[in-house]
A and B are shown apart, each in its own frame.
Chain A
Amino acid sequence: MNFYLTYFFIAIGLFGFSALFALFGVYAERKLSAFIQDRLGPTETGTFGSLQTIADILKMLQKELIIPTAADKLLFMMAPAVIFIAVYLGFAVLPWGPGLAPAKLNLGLYYLFAVLSIETLGILMAGWGSNNKYSILGAMRSAAQIVSYEIPAGFAIISVVMISQTLNLQTIATQQGILSSEKVTFAGFWDVSNIGGIFSWNVFRAPHLLVAFVIYFIASLAESNRAPFDVPEAESELVAGFHTEYTGLRFALVFLAEYSMMFMVSMIGAVLFLGAWNTPLPNMGVVELAAWTTGAGWGIFWIALKTLSLVGIQMWIRWTLPRFRVDQLMNFCWKVLTPAAFACVLVSGLWRIFLM
């Protein structure tokens, strides 16, 4: 019975974590955007405005839940839950440290890929359920974008899987550090199995994965509907896209899903390319930095640091780049990213045959 209780505790803990992260993320985003635009951002509520998002969520919880008369009520009410649960399901397989993964699925990566595609359905559900032109246009744009950008993202992921030869995220993580049971080489020639650190990360084990990482990162921006790929909610054209009609708690759920999605795609990127929970510090002779900074607690610290830096870059990009036009978006996906991702897969194959 204890066995099942642990599952429940971990699930509730992850939910609490994603809620906390959304609160912290919104605050960070507002402060960061203020810094980029030479403003101050929230300053009044709490020290440096730190209680601002808590005040926001309290306000949001009290708001009336409005259902438009013409809406398909069932779909309208269920959509935010479907969107959030799709993202939340993904957290089940992400590894947090050596031996610390909620579920050690041997198909973890493939499962993540499947679960992320459910979100599209939730967005379409919200768009259709709202019975509003802006909502449905936003939902269709979002679905078209997610479906298209899944292809370069998928191929970038496949090029990693070809190098690591497994779909188990925990195994992929272990391979990129001193705990690896197989030989790890830096760029295919320098044996770094006992040195570890930044040299054994996937992007340096096979340098073409650096290209794959950039492709994955761009595609992940599109999949989480972030600027410069935010045509689904382009304020100047579509009011707010698929969540135009949502108020109160339901709107909060949509927002929670967006921030959880940001965190999750960043964490997948960190796990696949940037050494997961492995330390960036290498062993240097007697100064065994890598051995000292590897462990369950350190693992959580490193993965959180890497993921939050990627989230920070996402925010930085959002507030500095203008929005893509729809045709530019599709051209970029099909004519630049997809061929480049195919090339990465090809190089991965050759790398596997000749250099590993």
Chain B
Amino acid sequence: MMTDETVIHVDRLTKKFGDFIATNAISFDVVQGEIFGFLGANGAGKTTAMRMLCGLSIPSSGKATVAGFDVYKETEHIKQNIGYMSQKFSLYEDLTVKENIRFYAGIYGMSRSAIKEKMKVLLEQLELSAEENSLVKSLPLGWKQKLAFSVAILHEPRIVFLDEPTGGVDPVTRREFWNLIYEAAAKGITVFVTTHYMDEAEYCDRVSIMVDGVIEALDTPANLKKTYNASSMDEVFLQLARGAKRAAD
């Protein structure tokens, strides 16, 4: 459920690496329960911006709060209140399903009894009970991605950051994954997601498109298509990203 409460507030946030301005005075707000699509070409500055919002990189200037915590001074609080998942890194392949759940839940400081309870619900929900003692590397990719997402929100964070969660996944699993995203958002978890699949941009409540370190466009998919006189988000993206001057990363 979307509410009016702002959970991410970004005001002229900037990150410089020497002379290079990776993220140039970006500003936006994200509300609770919103599915916020964060798009941009390779090298546009998405990863830098995401790292600052996750408390992993201190900004050069500007202001931002995530779940009410300051990105300069309260990075540890931010980390406790967010979940994170990417296609490149999610679960430990050499641990079993159960061990992975226990490990992540433990890191987020959940009690043993809470972990036990959550574990049971989660395994049933994902229909993974029969595989609880299997090594994660033996699971099909689709199951891994769904498990990784569930683990990222196990501690009921305010916000979950998803960095290209569906890359390389088959079309059926990709859609099942988005169902999990909808369910999480319905529970009030804010979803901040990047993707290279433009049809997935349509599933977001609002979409921002970064070009050369700045946010070039930010609106609902319907309004963006209207503004850019485009029939699909793919066209909107191409119109904006084609103007990029910066070499892709």
| Pair from one complex | no
> Which residues of B come within 8 Å of A, CB atoms?
none
> Which residues of A come within 8 Å of B, CB atoms?
none
